[in-house]
Amino acid sequence: MSVTRAVLDAADAGTSTVADIAARTGLDRDVVALALERLVATGRLTAQPLQAGCPPAGCGGCASSAGSAGGSPGCARPAGDTGPVLLSLGVRRS
């Protein structure tokens, strides 16, 4: 079985993290990450970023900004800086 097929099968079975896919397939984490990048690039898997942190327009309206000193965002991050994001992987069904 190819590396790509093993990773795709693991994702199809509901395995959702690089570490879990590596454990399930016996592949190195770096190999799994590369296979995932390839599967996303070729459209075999979809990757959907989830919002983490402030929205692009800034976080002036979010709950953590209320009552912050000097009216600055409560999370102290500049507008547009969303920081790390989570990816949701799903097998693309055609």
Q: What is the pLDDT of residues 48-77, one digit of tens each?
A: 665 555 556 665 555 555 444 454 545 555
Which pair of structure tokens corresponds to residue 45?
Answer: 């898997």
Q: Kindly report, residue by residue over 76-89, the tens digit of the pLDDT.
A: 555 555 445 455 66
Q: What is the pTM of this model?
A: 0.58
Its domain, for residue 87, covers: 3-91
Q: Where are the beta strands (DSSP E) in 31-81?
A: 45-50
Distance CA(36)–CA(83), nearest Å, equals 21
- CATH number for the domain spanning 19: value is 1.10.10
Name the percent of the chain in helix, strand, coil, to the closest 5. Answer: 40, 15, 50
How many domains is the chain partitioned into structurally?
1
- Degrees to nearest 5, angle at CA 29 with 16 and 10: 35
For residue 31, the model assigns a pLDDT of 96
Q: What is the pLDDT of residues 24-38, one digit of tens each?
A: 999 999 999 999 989
- Taking the CA atoms of 44, 88, 53 and 31 in sequence, report the sign of the dihedral they define: negative
